[in-house]
Structure 1
Amino acid sequence: MVAPPDNDVLWARGLHHTHGSTPALTGVSLGVREGEILAVTGPRGSGKTTLLKCLSGHLAPAEGEVWFNSAPVHTLSSPSRERLRLDRFGWIDTEPQLVPELTAWENAALPLLLRGTGNRSARHTAMEWLDRLDVGMCARRRPARLDQSQRQRIAIARALAAEPQVLFADEPTAPLHQADGTQVLRTLTAAARSHQITVVLATHDPDVAVLADRTIALLDGRRTGTSASANGSPDAESRAACSLSV
């Protein structure tokens, strides 16, 4: 087992996963640097969601390694991966997954409250993000009284309010109209850059991918394209190949 490079906050090598008898990932390797926004592109069914779930600890890969801050994730127990997701990771799903019994601000503050943050501080932080995403007026409403766009913005506010070290976003603007989606994505990427949040963003939309620092492409569970980072350093797939040849 080879430890990842020091400058990669997230690193994966040789990931394999299947859904039933259908391969979802076949030997995918990558590295993500701290503060980088990485877009994972490809058509529906290409393996984007499975890759994000393996990287974030939602799924344990059938084969391969996942490292976060030079510590292995793939060997952690299920409770330890759950704790890692609460403390260090954020997740934005394609569909907003809100707790129906909670108000908008309570949903946005939920990760902070679960960490033990005081009610007043958690509410203040949640309200700041709801306002930035133009849903502050919904703070006291429950999800059933909101439209899909408002619910998705609250889900995004919840992910950002927790200030995760790595934020995973799986087609986060899918429920939004194009104009709303563009505005929300610009807020998300600006927040990530100002707070040094690393983002792994899955999308099939090239207009979304252009907001990222770097893009990798998947097709049928395999990487089909490699783009160098801005400084021209080799990506994780090249480094992993080198380590295997030593």
Structure 2
Amino acid sequence: MVAPPDNDVLWARALHVTHNGSPALTGVSLGVREGEILAVSGPRGSGKTTLLRCLSGQLLPQQGEVWFNSTPVHTMGPLVRERLRRDRFGWIDPEPHLVPELTARENVALPLMLRGASHRTAKPAAQEWLERLDIGGCARKRPHALLQAERQRVAVARALVTTPSVIFADEPTAPLHRADRAHVLRTLTTAARSHGITVVLATHDPELAALADRAVTLLDGRRVKTVHLPDTDAPPGPAPAAGPGPTDAEGRAACSLSV
């Protein structure tokens, strides 16, 4: 095994994953720098969630390596990986999975308490993040009494409250309206930058990807590079020689190259 570069907090090499015999990831490699906000973009079914699950230690690839801070995640046992996720990572799902018996504030405080923080310490920290997300007034409500957008904000606050090393956000604003989506994303990215949190964001929304420092694209489980075609408003050049040209389908296919 070769250790990753020193400035990469996450590093993956040649990941291969299959689900029920179908390839989900095929040879995907990437590095994520400390404090970077990286967008993993691509259409639904392209392998974005599978990649995030491998990087976070939820899923072991059939082939390939995953490293966190120069420590091989792919060789860890289940309990060590679970401790890593609890202590160093945060996760935001497309749908908020909140504990129904707990209030919003208790849901946000839960990761702190699992780390050993007292209720007296965890409660104000949870309230602070609820206030930052403009749902401080929902602190005592249980999930069934919250709107969908409010539940998702609680899930975002829960991921941020421990100030983790890395937050994995899998389509984190999918259930939100446009205005709510913008506010939550601003809060997430601002908090990440101010606290030096690395964010790996899976999205099929170009507007979300544009908020990241860098983006990588997946297509059918492979990492691809988009080639931008010349601007149609550019001055015309010399006329090309006559001859058969590519079909529309061939032209579209030429816009993506495997890397």
Structure 2 residue 196 is matched with structure 1 residue 196: yes
Matches within 5 A, 1:38-187: 38-187=38-187
Q: Secondary structure at the match of 1:102?
A: coil
Which residue pairs with 1:216 in the alignment? Answer: 216
Structure 1 residue 127 displacement after superposition? 0.4
CA distance in 1, matches of 2:148, 2:99: 14
CA distance in 1, matches of 2:149, 2:162: 21
* Residue identity opposite 2:35 in structure 1: G
Structure 2 residue 21 is matched with structure 1 residue 14: no
* Residue identity opposite 1:217 in structure 2: T
Structure 2 residue 45 is matched with structure 1 residue 36: no
Q: For residues 41-83 of structure 1, give each alpha carbon's deviation from its aligned partner in whole angstroms, at most 9, with x where no partner exists.
A: 0000000000000000110111100000000000001111110
Which residue pairs with 1:237 in the alignment? Answer: none
> Does the Cα contact within 8 Å between 1:108 and 1:155 map onto a contact in 2?
yes
Q: For residues 132-189 of structure 1, give each alpha carbon's deviation from its aligned partner in whole angstroms, at most 9, with x where no partner exists.
A: 1111111011101111111000000000001100000000000100111011101100
Q: For residues 85-140 of structure 1, give each alpha carbon's deviation from its aligned partner in whole angstroms, at most 9, with x where no partner exists.
A: 00000000010010001100010011100000111111111100001111111101
Which residue pairs with 1:205 in the alignment? Answer: 205
CA distance in 2, matches of 1:22, 1:103: 41
> Does the Cα contact within 8 Å between 1:41 and 1:204 map onto a contact in 2?
yes
Identity of aligned residues (%): 72
Q: Secondary structure at the match of 2:46?
A: coil
Q: Secondary structure at the match of 1:15?
A: strand
CA distance in 1, matches of 2:177, 2:99: 23
Task: Please provide the CA RMSD for this pair.
Answer: 1.2
Higher relative contact order (CA 8 A, sep 6+): 1
Which residue pairs with 2:232 in the alignment? Answer: none
CA distance in 2, matches of 1:128, 1:16: 41
Structure 1 residue 225 displacement after superposition? 1.8
> Does the Cα contact within 8 Å between 1:39 and 1:212 map onto a contact in 2?
yes
> Does the Cα contact within 8 Å between 1:215 and 1:226 map onto a contact in 2?
no
Could you state the TM-score of these two structures normalised by the residue count of structure 1? Answer: 0.91
CA distance in 1, matches of 2:25, 2:226: 16
CA distance in 2, matches of 1:103, 1:166: 25
CA distance in 2, matches of 1:202, 1:95: 14
The list of structure 1 runs, each at least 4 consecutive aligned residues, that deviate by more than 3 angstroms after superposition, is none
* 1:122–1:151 distance in 2 versus 1, CA, 3 Å: same
Which consecutive residues of structure 1, in runs of 5 or more, have no partner in the other structure?
A: 228-240, 242-246
Structure 1 residue 226 displacement after superposition? 7.6
Q: Secondary structure at the match of 2:124?
A: helix
Q: Secondary structure at the match of 2:12?
A: strand
> Does the Cα contact within 8 Å between 1:54 and 1:61 map onto a contact in 2?
yes
* 1:226–1:83 distance in 2 versus 1, CA, 3 Å: farther
Structure 1 residue 18 displacement after superposition? 1.0
Could you state the TM-score of these two structures normalised by the residue count of structure 2? Answer: 0.87
* Residue identity opposite 1:77 in structure 2: G
CA distance in 2, matches of 1:118, 1:85: 20
* Residue identity opposite 1:74 in structure 2: H
CA distance in 2, matches of 1:225, 1:113: 43
